[in-house]
Amino acid sequence: MTNRIPPGQVETTKWPVLHYGNVPQVDTTKWTFTVSGLVDRPFTLSYDELLALPRTSVVCDIHCVTRWSRLENTFEGVSVQALLKRAGVKPEAKFCLVVAEQGFTTNLPLADLDRPENLIAFRWSGEPLTPEHGGPARLLVPHLYFWKSAKWVRGLELLERDIPGFWEQNGYHMRGDPWTEERYGGRGLTQQEINTFRNASKKMLD
């Protein structure tokens, strides 16, 4: 069992609740999810439209940068790969800016996003995700530290260059591989990146 736990991590059977700011009160009748940027067919889904898509279940371990790991989690949701295929990712797209409620963002290389185990998840252990754990929907990218699996996700913006998200702007690593302990080491933003980040967040949540 221990070979499933990355260096510096401690196994827990609980699921600690950690986030910045308040838990947003999300009205699913107004909720939307958008795939945009460097894609051939950008689209927006309502929550009911997301739930109507084919579903995938993933059993995975999750690893938080605060050093806890929880094994054997079952998430259910919509495949990120299926959503990217629907959008038609352009060859020049290399990165993704993930946008969530309250202007929260995180960044991912496209190679880390476009994997079969990644979901837009809305169920955990057979039950709907609670708001504290990112409901009504969160990104699931289990092979990276769990801050990359953004809670309250609202969209994916495909980009040519890497733009640091919220935690990455505040010192977290740009990628976040738990097996090599990529916890910290984010770089400072240029003014151009700040402007791009703000515009992308505002556009996707308008």
Mind giving me the DSSP string for 91-136?
TT--EEEEEEGGG-EEEEEHHHHS-TT-EEEEEETTEEPPGGGTTT
Residue 99 in domain = yes
pTM: 0.88
Q: What local confidence, expressed as pLDDT, does residue 198 receive?
A: 54
Residue 120 in domain = yes
Instruction: Tell whether the model's pLDDT for residue 204 goes beyond 80.
Output: no
The answer to whether the beta carbons of residues 6 and 63 sit under 8 Å apart is yes
Task: Output the furthest CA–CA distance in the chain (Å, rounded).
Answer: 46
Query: Distance from CA of residue 161 to its chain's centroid?
Result: 18
Residue 22 in domain = no
Q: What total of structural domains would you count in the chain?
A: 1
Q: Per-residue pLDDT tens for 32-73? A: 999 999 999 999 999 999 999 999 999 999 999 999 999 999
Residue 4 in domain = no
Report the sign of the C-alpha dihedral through residues 45, 50, 54, 60, in that order: positive
Query: 3-class SS at 156?
Result: strand
CATH number at residue 119: 3.90.420.10
Q: What local confidence, expressed as pLDDT, does residue 103 receive?
A: 86
Q: What local confidence, expressed as pLDDT, does residue 197 receive?
A: 55
Domain that holds residue 194: 28-205
Residue 15 in domain = no
Residue 54 in domain = yes
The answer to whether the beta carbons of residues 24 and 101 sit under 8 Å apart is yes
Residue 18 in domain = no
Q: Which residues contact 164 (CB under 8 A, 6 or more apart)?
A: 107, 174, 186, 187, 189, 193, 197
Q: Which residue has better confidence, 202 or 94? A: 94
Residue type, 26: V
Residue 144 in domain = yes
Q: What local confidence, expressed as pLDDT, does residue 2 receive?
A: 53
Residue in this structure with the two tokens 């940068």, named with its chain if needed: 65
Structure tokens at 60: 């995975």
